[in-house]
Amino acid sequence: MEPTRDLHATLTDLLDRVLDKGVIINADVIITVSGIPLIAVNLRAAIAGMETMLEYGLMTDWDEMTRFRERENRKEKVLSEART
């Protein structure tokens, strides 16, 4: 089967990549949203505006990030077990 690059069919895939991935600059030369570096916040929420970001709640974001990292760790563990 051939991969698709059709823009309409792959918009979600594009958003997942451009908004959640890519190189992140972790330095004080990067712009901030209300004093908070963009890397520390949910970029999707930040783009939608400060109000949305506060609606999401920064604490929940951090919480979500921590949980996500934990899930990823666990997944990796499962996979390294699967590999052996």
Partner 1 sequence: MSANNCGRYVYCIAEAGEVLNFGDIGIDDNEVYTIPYDSLCAIVHNCSAEPYSSSDKDIVHRWVISHQRVVETALDRFGTVLPMSFDTIIQDTDEGSAEDNIRKWLVEEAEDLKKKLDRVRGNEEYGVQVFWEPNTLAGVISQTNPELRKLEEEIRSKSKGLAYMYKQRLEKLLKQEMGKEAENYFKDFYHRIEGCVSELRVEKTKTEVDKQMLINLSCLVARGKTKPLSDELENINKMDGFSVRFTGPWPPYSFVTVK
Residue 23 or 59: the one with the smaller Cβ distance to partner 1 is 23
Tell me: does residue 35 bind partner 1 (CB under 8 A): no
Contact 32, 12 (CB under 8 A): no
Backbone angles phi, psi at 36, to 5 degrees: -105, 120
Q: Give the Cβ contact number of residue 45 at 10 Å.
A: 20
- Residue 61 CB, nearest distance to partner 1 (Å)? 15
| Count of positions on this chain that bind partner 1 (CB under 8 A) | 45
Tell me: does residue 38 bind partner 1 (CB under 8 A): yes
Q: Give the Cβ contact number of residue 14 at 10 Å.
A: 11
Residue 20 or 63: the one with the smaller Cβ distance to partner 1 is 20
